[in-house]
Amino acid sequence: MLIPIHEEMTRKALGSYFSPRALEIIIAANRKQDALSGQLGHDEFHFDNNAIEKGLRYINEQRGFVLASLLSPGVLSAWIAFGRLTHTAQDFYSHTNYISLWLDQHPGTPPTPPEVDPVQKSLIQSPSLRSGKIYFPMDVLYFIPFTRSIALKFLPADSHGKMNLDSPKQGPRFEYARAAAVKRTQYEFDLLKKILPAELFAKFTDM
């Protein structure tokens, strides 16, 4: 997703659960994943290039870092790890075909975006689950508004340029990706709430 959309979704999902300072650090860490240093050689941050398993493993690792950090002095690194986790969890819906597979189950009149199930196990484990491949240089030209239409003429159907649901410009499926990403962010928070002892949860939320 575009960086401002990551920020807006994270605020919407987590705004009432964390102190303002914790929320700002979580958002900054989420945004930082899309910096150039987080783009090159880090398919797992964004579920790019069919890095489905790597992306899922990255989410689990960051959840582990949250726990380990909360057991150590200080709390900053727990917020940073959770920010990274939320970025990858959100990109799952804009960079894979999860939303298309979910909608395929509902031929005819599709359910509305708020009805999307972000963690349908049979889809997350489906052999049909794919993510967009980055094709150089066309996927770079895709990011420049001036050359986007030319790039789209050359990009194959399995490219990031053709598959992504990064912004409302990608059509009606974007709203499903956004709704799923917000729900997934809340789901990840709820998961930690369930496993953290009360005093660590209070430390984490800073409330």
- What is the C-alpha separation between 10 and 23, in angstroms, rounded? 9
- The answer to whether 160 and 95 have CB atoms below 8 angstroms apart is yes
Instruction: Assess contact for 151 and 142: CB atoms under 8 A.
Output: yes
β-pair partners for 131? 96
Q: Return the range that interacts with Zn ion (CB under 5 A); candidates 20-28, 43-51, 101-109, 185-193.
A: 43-51
The minimum distance between CB 169 and Zn ion, in angstroms, equals 17
The answer to whether 91 contacts Zn ion (rule: CB under 5 A) is: yes
Residue in the shown chain whose Cβ atom is closest to Zn ion: 46
For residues 205 and 199, give the distance between their C-alpha atoms in angstroms, rounded to a whole number.
10
**Based on CB atoms, which residue is closest to Zn ion, 27 or 70?**
27
**Min dist. Cβ of residue 87 to Zn ion (A):** 6
Residue closer to Zn ion by CB (options 69, 164) is 164
Residue choice 10, 14, 23, 46 for contact with Zn ion (CB under 5 A) = 46
Backbone angles phi, psi at 19, to 5 degrees: -65, 155
Distance of closest approach, residue 99 Cβ to Zn ion, in angstroms: 16
Please say which residue, 43 or 91, places its beta carbon nearer to Zn ion: 91
- Of residues 115, 116, 83, the one with CA closest to residue 192: 83
For Zn ion, the binding residues in 13-42 under the rule CB under 5 A are: 34
Q: Which of 87, 78, 116 is nearest to 192 (CA)?
A: 78
Q: Is 48 in the site for Zn ion (CB under 5 A)?
A: no
Asked if 44 is part of the footprint of Zn ion (rule: CB under 5 A), the reply reads no
Q: Least distance (Å) from Zn ion to the CB of residue 74?
A: 27
Q: Which stretch binds Zn ion (CB under 5 A): 45-53, 123-131, 148-156, 171-179?
A: 45-53
Which amino acid belongs to residue 29? A
Of residues 91 and 139, the one with the C-beta less far from Zn ion: 91
**If 0-12 CB within 10 Å is exposed, 13-18 middle and 19+ buried, where does residue 38 land?**
middle
List of residues contacting Zn ion (CB under 5 A)? 34, 46, 91
